[in-house]
Amino acid sequence: MRKVLVSLLLTLVVFFAFANYLGYDATGKKGGTLILPTLSGPRTCNDTVSKETSSSDVIAMFMSWGGTLIERSAIDGKFYPALAEKWDGPRLTKDGGMEIIWYLRKGVKWSDGEPFDADDVVFTLNEIYTNPDIPSSFKDVIRSTNGYLPKATKINDYTVRMYYPEPFRLALRYLGGMYIFPKHKAESWVKNKKFAEFWTVDAINKKEIVGLGPFIPVEYVPDQYVRFVANPNYWKKTKDGTQLPFLKEVVYKIISSQDAQKLAFEKGEVDIYSQRGTEFRGTEFNYFKENEKKFNITVLAYGPAYGTQFITFNWNNKDEAKREWFRNVHFRKAVAYAMDKKKMIDTLFNGLAVEQWSPVSMASPYYNDKVTVKYPYDLNKARAELKLGGFSWDKNGKLIDSKGRPVKFIIETNAGNTVREGMGNIITAALKQLGMDITFVPGDFNTLINRMLNVGDWDAIIIGLTGSDEPQGGRNVWAIDGSLHFWNLSPKVADWVDPNAYWLPDFEKEIDKIFAENVRILDDNVVKDYWAKFQKLASENLPLIYTVNPLRLFAWRNTIKNVKITMLGGTTWNLDWLWKEQ
């Protein structure tokens, strides 16, 4: 202990000693069942295997909300103590590495009554999430710049040290939010090398699931519902001594069609409609808004959402002419000016969306409106950009490049996504007005992704990515060797890219550097400068041309209390202190 304290190299020392945690100040009544709709049931209850929200929503019930070392408030975006009463760091160590010391809350029990202590935390990090035999996407996010994984050591039963050989800014966020596995249940599965089969959905009915979170799944009827009961050993209490959660039960009702979900909400069979927001349709929003009183519900648009939708061009196209156009920044700027975002918002989202200009989500503290270059819809400016880029028009009004070749290419998107198809039509119509010869083709999603990443025979694609408030989450997209750097995949990543024709402009190198370096900085103000530069470069050079970003739409029954909608959170971010009027 002493040694650790001495080995401080002071850059940033944060010492948190909150008396309270999220939910400490909450008031409410015990009892009640919250019924949430979901489109499909869980595939697994094992976080390392889970890849989709239908599973991760179920897992979060017993592993999140107070089941992690620290918790983030959706109100102020700050981290609050949870299983860790307080923590030191992240701070640099003498050897150039970085450490965080967690001081665990004493007396916390797993839902089966076993005590929770440092062994569980050390086991989870060292033997599950950093185990080379257990693939998980969490392993990818906790890897530092040079690929190091953290190591945990037990200092005593209630103190854990986590260490990286190099500074890594995101360590606090990710390690603090890490789901903790019960060593007494999971250890034998890790040893037998069968961890992928630990906690399949069978485990729910066998009552094998044990957690630190507020609700434990106890019953699963395939394609029908998952029932959770309040964790009898949940550690959180309000300041007047009431044990949380307030709710007695939570039920995930699996309703596989959205129309049926809507009717079920209207009829009162579910309490919250589309807690994720993005699935909610603008037409439904108006319908519910008009009937707020009649159905006794609250309907709210808030946002924008984290995700992005954009058009991107293949800089490594096999056709040399297309390669030249797509690499020409004036061409991309012309496309940006030709994008009628207002029309997209009105026709595709019923007005419930905002224009997007930056790769950083507007909900992020790193979003910087001042540095972001914007391209309001203006076909004359688009024509001017095309002229600057060496393009001209033949006597029929068709756009030709400096070598006289007519500009002709295909825009694709995945069929069935009506929003993207609508965007495609709007963009295509505008580009045709500029004299481009464009075919717009919606196609099968899997085929599209395969051709985009593995084959390379595409011109332009309209697609989207999920996002978060932390720009570093897009590393695979923006790093030069990133596997999702689709517009200009590195020949190291994709064998279809011709190394001789590969071209790397300076702004790409600079962005790559930003992604590599920002995570080594622990001072948030410096990090903000990094992300400002990133937004400036990305919006000046437009490798991805963003479209619009929908607002998040929320609707819940008025009987559900303590709902606090913010930019960062939805209806259930404070599930452990929601309550229901009986």
Partner 1 sequence: MIKYIARRLIIMLPELWIITIIVFALIQLSPGTFLDQYKLDPSISQETLKAMEKELGLDKPAIVQYFYWLGKVVRGDFGYSFYYRRPVASLIGERLLGTFVLSLYSFVLSWIIGVVLGIVSALKKYTLTDKILTVVAFSGLALPGFFLALVLLYMAARTGWFPIGGMYSPETSRLDVWNAFKDIFWRMQLPAFTLTFGGFAGLMRYMRGSLLDVLNEDYVEFARAKGMPERVVIYKHALRNAINPLITMFGYSLSGLLSGAVITETIFSWPGLGRLTYQALLQKDYYVVMASTVIGTVLLVLGNLVGDILLAAVDPRIRYE
| 557: β partners | 297
Report the distance separating Cα 140 and Cα 147, nearest Å. Answer: 9
Distances, alpha carbon 210 to alpha carbons 46, 113, 138, 178, in Å = 12, 9, 21, 16
Query: Could you tell me which of 219, 245, 218 has the C-alpha nearest to residue 230?
Result: 245
Q: Which is nearer to partner 1, 294 or 395 (CB)?
A: 294
Q: Which is nearer to partner 1, 73 or 476 (CB)?
A: 476
Query: Could you tell me which of 524, 537, 578 has the C-alpha nearest to residue 173?
Result: 524
The residues that touch partner 1, with contacts defined as CB under 8 A, are 33, 35, 40, 43-44, 46, 49, 51-52, 135-137, 139-141, 143, 196-197, 200-202, 219, 221-225, 227, 251, 253-257, 259-260, 263-264, 266-267, 269, 444, 446-447, 449-450, 453, 463, 465-466, 473-477, 483-484, 493
Contact indicator for 469, 363 with CB cutoff of 8 Å: yes
Report the distance separating Cα 402 and Cα 404, nearest Å. Answer: 5
Strand-strand pairing, 98-104 and 151-156? unpaired
What's at 581, amino acid-wise? E
Q: Which is nearer to partner 1, 229 or 371 (CB)?
A: 229
> Tokens 């961890």 identify what position?
195
- From the CB of 205, what's the least distance to partner 1, in Å? 10
Which tokens in the block code for residue 122? 């050390």
Provide the CA 140 distance to its chain's centre, in angstroms.
14
SS3 assignment, position 385? helix
Query: Could you tell me which of 67, 77, 71, 43 has the C-alpha nearest to residue 57?
Result: 43
Which tokens in the block code for residue 337? 């000016």
Q: Which is nearer to partner 1, 351 or 482 (CB)?
A: 482
Q: Which is nearer to partner 1, 24 or 174 (CB)?
A: 174
Q: Which is nearer to partner 1, 115 or 473 (CB)?
A: 473
> Tokens 């589309």 identify what position?
274
Report the distance separating Cα 151 and Cα 165, nearest Å. Answer: 9
- From the CB of 49, what's the least distance to partner 1, in Å? 6
- From the CB of 452, what's the least distance to partner 1, in Å? 9
In angstroms and rounded to an integer, the radius of gyration of the C-alpha atoms of the chain is 26
Q: Which is nearer to partner 1, 444 or 523 (CB)?
A: 444
- From the CB of 92, what's the least distance to partner 1, in Å? 26
**Helices (H) and strands (E) in the chain — how many of each?**
19, 25
Contact indicator for 334, 326 with CB cutoff of 8 Å: no
- From the CB of 42, what's the least distance to partner 1, in Å? 9
- From the CB of 297, what's the least distance to partner 1, in Å? 15
- From the CB of 254, what's the least distance to partner 1, in Å? 6
- From the CB of 448, what's the least distance to partner 1, in Å? 9
Q: Where are the alpha helices (DSSP H) in 358-468?
A: 379-388, 418-433, 445-450
- From the CB of 267, what's the least distance to partner 1, in Å? 5
- From the CB of 200, what's the least distance to partner 1, in Å? 5
| 162: β partners | 100, 152
| Burial category of 156 from C-beta neighbours within 10 Å (exposed 0-12, middle 13-18, buried 19 and up) | exposed
- From the CB of 376, what's the least distance to partner 1, in Å? 29
CA atoms within 13 A on the CB side of 525: 1
| 310: β partners | 463, 546
Which tokens in the block code for residue 175? 């390690």
Report the distance separating Cα 347 and Cα 377, nearest Å. Answer: 16
Q: Which is nearer to partner 1, 236 or 262 (CB)?
A: 262
- From the CB of 46, what's the least distance to partner 1, in Å? 7
- From the CB of 515, what's the least distance to partner 1, in Å? 12
Q: Which is nearer to partner 1, 9 or 260 (CB)?
A: 260
Report the distance separating Cα 212 and Cα 65, nearest Å. Answer: 9
SS3 assignment, position 151? strand
> Tokens 């909608």 identify what position?
565
Q: Which is nearer to partner 1, 20 or 256 (CB)?
A: 256
Q: Which is nearer to partner 1, 214 or 474 (CB)?
A: 474
Report the distance separating Cα 107 and Cα 158, nearest Å. Answer: 10
Q: Which is nearer to partner 1, 105 or 253 (CB)?
A: 253
Q: Which is nearer to partner 1, 92 or 255 (CB)?
A: 255
Contact indicator for 101, 160 with CB cutoff of 8 Å: yes
- From the CB of 210, what's the least distance to partner 1, in Å? 19
Q: Which is nearer to partner 1, 203 or 431 (CB)?
A: 203
Q: Which is nearer to partner 1, 296 or 483 (CB)?
A: 483
- From the CB of 38, what's the least distance to partner 1, in Å? 11
CA atoms within 13 A on the CB side of 85: 12
Report the distance separating Cα 354 and Cα 373, nearest Å. Answer: 16
Which tokens in the block code for residue 22? 């999220």
